[in-house]
Amino acid sequence: MREIVYMVHTSLDGCVEGPNGEFDWPVMGPELSEHSHEMSERCGEFAYGRKVWDMMAAFWPSAETISDHPHDIAFAPIWREKPKVVFSRTLEKADWNTRVVGGDLDETVASLKAEPGRDLLLMGGAELAAELTARGLIDEYLVFVHPVVLGGAKRPFAEGTARLGLELVESRVYDGQVVLLRLRRK
């Protein structure tokens, strides 16, 4: 059975974006970029909520013309080729090897997990991740803590989230500054 692995970048104060929605602060050094590529290989499908999908679809199809960062140039073709799924109640279709799923979240996730293949990598999406966490549907968490304080309001675990016991299975520092906390549900 496939698992859902949630990968999120946070600031030291636990925010996923700045106070004005900015996401220009994650540092993608060579080690973290390599880890990102390894996660892409481990997982058979990328998963997004609607808001993150819109952001990704606006950047990755033509990333090489927008950015000259080595990570972006290397990851763009991987992103375009990898199968993707978007959780949405309003989006009807999406390009770039992407399917859209909606309806009952528990049933949809159960169906996705039952499909053959490698795990689903849920990237970002604080609202979707909070809902999946509340329902016990995320199997593994990859939390990358960056050395910045943002003072934003959006966090990957929404206020009011029920207590959740997790097991730390790995911690690691990338590029001398970004800390990975890899956790699994108990």
CATH number at residue 101: 3.40.430.10
**Domain annotation covers residue 68:** yes
Q: Is the pTM of this model over 0.85?
A: yes
pLDDT of residue 170: 97
Q: Tell me which residue has tokens 């499909």.
A: 115
**Domain annotation covers residue 182:** no
Domain count, the chain: 1
**Domain annotation covers residue 44:** yes
| Phi and psi based region of residue 8 (left: phi greater than 0; alpha: psi -120 to 50; beta: remaining) | beta
Greater confidence (148 vs 21) lies with 148
Q: How confident is the model at residue 186 (pLDDT cuts 50, 70, 90)?
A: confident
**Domain annotation covers residue 178:** no
Residue 97: pLDDT over 90? yes
| Structural domain of 108 | 4-18+32-140+147-158
Residue 3: pLDDT over 80? yes
pLDDT of residue 133: 92
**Domain annotation covers residue 65:** yes
